[in-house]
Structure 1
Amino acid sequence: MASKTLIDLFNTSVDLKQQSLTISLLAIAFNPTAWNIVARNEYRNKTITRLFGGNPRYGCYFLALMIFSFGILRDSLYHIAILKQPRQAILPAEYATIVPAVLFILGQIFVVTSTWALGITGTFLGDYFGILMDSRVEGFPFNVLRDPMYVGSTMCFAATALWYERPAGLFITLYVYIVYLIALRFEGPFTDMIYSKRAEKAKAKAL
């Protein structure tokens, strides 16, 4: 019965005929997938580094610009998509403004503070360019969440859906969360491997 209700809710809240919805979903999946592929290629072949005359830092800055730009494009496509979806009150009137506003602010805090803590190279896959951090960042927001940037981004998607009262946006937010979980299954172990290799080399030199 519950599953039937959920299916009915989906059918009344999501207009699958809207091309903007398909484009938004593709953009959401493209970003983490593409950057993981590009970063792994960089780690193995140094393709971007060679384009910048062997300077890994310039290569990382270039990738950071690309990731940031495509992130803005993804958010714009999401905004366009949900505005073309059916509108329906999600929260009680007294919470309809405050809840999404607080959720969005918290999400942005997680995103901005994690970027500040990691720096440009730490945030935008500098590890794959050989630009490794001296030690693991353990301060805020990493002492609260393991992946604050992904969590913060997901919170902002949900906040936007609530603000514009588009239930379809909440389904997209769930999709975003799943995409991020899949990306982390690939990104996390590979990053751990990079740092493990550095530790092994340092240990070998010390012997």
Structure 2
Amino acid sequence: MDALSTIVNASATSLYVSLLSIAFNPTAWNIVARNEYRNKTITRMFGGNARYGCYFLAIMIFSFGVLRDHLYQRALSDQPRVSMLSAPYDTLVPIALFAIGQLFVVTSTLALGITGTFLGDYFGILMDHRVQGFPFNVLRDPMYVGSTMCFVATALWYERPAGLLVTLYVYIVYLIALRFEGPFTDMIYSKRTSTKKAL
């Protein structure tokens, strides 16, 4: 327990705020998106325009993502600093991880488009076919993997071992989110296929 206290400041409120924000984002968006699929609440707010509703949700998701990242960095500043990698790897490794992580996130967004990235299928804005190019030909969930890599990179850059534990938590949260998102999205597209066959 003493060893853990040298790398984690468990009394820092900022740590728990960060953990809450990390869990909040995928949980909230899953709830909001499922409600949208069933009740069209956001679409009705925008006069029945599903695309405007999706853009609104995209702005919200992006904004809360920026807030989450800010809270994570703030939490790291309250944690013990411990050298984890020797020079020059202490800068090279986090830079490489962050660059690759961002590459996965940005190329995923470009491949899917705004509505494909930000839950447009829950608004009834469905893609014509599954995206199979990069980075989806390398990873099944490149956006989540890329985001996790950025969390690791930030922890290594600031030399905060507690950040690596937070990253493990991020990974677990994403795995849980995918268990809900994946099957529901598959169901949406399966229903479309069934409807087309019935016509």
Fold agreement, TM-score > 0.5: yes
The equivalent residue for 2:30 is 36
SS of 1:16's equivalent in the other structure is: coil
Residues 89 and 54 (structure 1), Cα distance of their counterparts in 2 relative to 1, 3 Å cut:
same
Structure 1 stretches lacking a partner, 5+ long: 1-6
Matched ranges for 1:1-207 at <5 A: 9-205=3-199
Residues 90 and 56 (structure 1), Cα distance of their counterparts in 2 relative to 1, 3 Å cut:
same
CA shift for structure 1 position 92: 1.6
Residues 3-33 of structure 1 show CA distances to partners (whole Å, capped at 9, x for unaligned) of xxxx554332111100000100000000000
Runs of 4+ in structure 1 over 6 Å off: none
Aligned pairs, number: 199
CA shift for structure 1 position 94: 2.3
Residues 60-95 of structure 1 show CA distances to partners (whole Å, capped at 9, x for unaligned) of 000000000000000000000001100000112221
SS of 2:25's equivalent in the other structure is: helix
How far apart in 1 are the matches of 2:79 and 2:18? 12
How far apart in 2 are the matches of 1:76 and 1:135? 35
The equivalent residue for 1:3 is none
SS of 1:36's equivalent in the other structure is: helix
CA shift for structure 1 position 130: 0.1
Letter in 1 for 2:84: I
Moved more, 93-102 or 59-68: 93-102
How far apart in 2 are the matches of 1:107 and 1:9? 30
CA contact (8 A) 1:10 1:168 kept: no
Q: Taking every aligned residue pair, what percent have the same amino acid on both sides?
A: 77
